[in-house]
Structure 1
Amino acid sequence: MRFVAEPAFVLHARPWRETSLLVEVLTVSQGRVGLVARGVQGPKRQPLRAALQPLQWIRFDAVQRGELAGLSSAEALDAAPRLVGEAMLAGFYLNELTLRLAPRDDPQPELFAAYRHARERLRAGESLAWTLRRFERDLLEAIGFGFDWSHDGDVAVDPAARYRLDPEQGPVRVLSDRGHGDRSSAATGQALLALAQDAMPAAADLASLRRAMRGVLAHHLGPRGLKSWEMLGDLARVSPARLAMPDPQPDTGTS
């Protein structure tokens, strides 16, 4: 297969052998694609190396004969967002989650659009928590694991109730007599309705989405979690107040 002037976002790049890189990108036509960029060391290849940084929007040419495609050229289509602090971690999370859950060589135009929107929201400094919750919702929908956020089976979600998120069925109401543990990791009905309507909820409702959504993602990720979750947990132990941590769990508003 040949890629010609293919738009893509760079998800990950790592050194390979002495002068090359292994690069994962998210494309419009083929979803996640693995590339081999050979001979990228040296001053004359600096523009190519710069174009292959995570979060970069590029256009590339390549030929795929096996699992990986051989990159022949790539150019940056804009300047990647300059992120620092929690926003940088959010960008790392965005890429890692996409890398782990997006299938390879499977067209995902909806996911490509969702990634593009999330990337621009990070650039614009919009709410990190809301940006990532929306992307998680759109990612699950794009890869076939989405559900109706506004209904518990055939019953409309009650904005005053709390719901756990079943990875296969969606919202399931948590009864008040089921114990504090269930309710503490459940989302408010108001938060779920806001997510369904793509309308940012109040801060407390938005915070309730984090753990509920993490349970769904952990189910699809399997036994190996995300490095970004571990990093956020480490930072929380060092400075829980700065990260607005509710407890010592590896959990913040960003992922």
Structure 2
Amino acid sequence: MASKRISDEPAFVLHRYDWSETSLILEVFTRHHGRLALVAKGVKRPSSSFRPILLPLQPLHLAFGGDAEIKTLKAAEWQGGHVMPTGDALMSGYYLNELLLNLLAREDPHPALFDLYANVVAVIASEHGEVLESALRAFELLLLREVGLLPLLDAQTMTLLALHPEESYSLVPEGGLRQAGEGDRASLTGAQWATLQQVLGARVAFTTVLRACAEVASALKPQLRKLLNYHCGVSALRTRQVMIDLQNL
């Protein structure tokens, strides 16, 4: 029985590592098949047409096949649209990739999340650095919601009590959304959390979520970062630690 071949599949490379002297293993995020591992045979040879194409943060169309857990790359085409990000933008893109590698199961399709990722990558690669933080916070929220790790944001998680608009609440890994205490690093008001829940629940355009995050991005950052680290099983993601180390040089 012939193995199934998939063609013209929208995809991004999340990570790549050596397989042999001439080949690579690619972790890719595809629109219709989720996160996959592919072997790219001969791609490290100077003559390979794949070599300048199989880069992170670049929109691709891939063809692949095989019945094993690691499938074989057959073809790759760059879809254009933007150049490779640099500096902080590049590190932000690697941060998104690390989140997907940690939180997505293999072969579990998330087409809406794929489209969101493509939107955020386009923001990262643009000249609009002023919206980068808001875009990252929006992606974190939507990723957590997509994989079922984000509690409702219009009630206290443990008690289901309604939020008071003017009181402060914190999102914590072990207890979800709760009334802010003295030890909480950051918080939002009940009204601010309710606004985010309304936007997320309506499944509106990414730009609408981005605008909602822009007003609370600085307070959201430590809360979402702690929640993401908790679910990834680490004290700090590698890309985040690299960014901190570079800032301290």
Q: TM tier, shorter chain? A: 0.7 to 0.9
In angstroms, what is the RMSD of aligned CA positions?
A: 2.2
The one-letter code sitting in structure 2 at the alignment partner of 1:92 is Y
How many residues were matched structurally? 231
Normalising to structure 1: TM-score of the pair?
A: 0.81
Q: Please give the secondary structure, in 1, of the residue aligned with 2:56.
A: coil
- Give me the whole-angstrom Cα distance separating, in 1, the residues matched to 2:189 and 2:239: 25
1:22-37 pair list within 5 angstroms: 22-37=25-40
1:15 aligns with 2:1: no
Cα distance change of structure 1 residues 59 and 208 upon mapping to structure 2, 3 Å threshold: same
User: 1:167-202 deviations in whole A, cap 9, x for unaligned?
Assistant: 47632111xxx42x32x2334445534533323356
1:53 Cα offset (Å): 0.3
Letter in 2 for 1:186: S
Distance 1:185 1:122, change over 3 A: same
1:113 and 1:79 mapped to 2: Cα distance? Answer: 14
Distance change in 2, residues 1:190/1:89 (3 Å): farther
**CA deviation map 1:209-244 (0-9, x unaligned):** 011111211121113641112112212322xxxxxx
Please give the residue correspondences for 1:55-204 in structure 2 after superposition, counting only pairs within 5 Å: 55-124=57-126, 125-126=128-129, 127-153=131-157, 154-167=160-173, 170-174=176-180, 178-179=181-182, 181-182=183-184, 184-189=185-190, 191-196=192-197, 197=199, 198=209, 199-201=211-213
Whether 1:40 aligns to 2:43 is yes
TM-score normalised over the length of structure 2: 0.83
User: Retained in 2: the 8 A contact 1:186–1:211?
Assistant: no
Residue 162 of structure 1 deviates from its aligned partner by 2.5
Shift of 1:22: 0.9
- Report the residue type matching 2:193 in the other structure: L
Q: Secondary structure at the match of 1:151?
A: coil
Q: What's the CA shift for 1:71?
A: 0.6
Q: Which amino acid aligns with 1:84?
A: T
Percentage of pairs with the same residue: 34
> 2:24–2:44: 8 Å Cα contact kept in structure 1?
no
Whether contact under 8 Å (2:137, 2:213) holds in the other structure is: no
What SS does the corresponding residue of 2:44 show, helix, strand or coil? coil
Secondary structure in structure 2 of the residue aligned to 1:212: helix
Unmatched runs of 5 consecutive residues or more in structure 2: 200-208
Structure 1 unaligned spans of 5+? 239-255
Determine the C-alpha separation between the residues in 1 that align with 2:174 and 2:11: 30
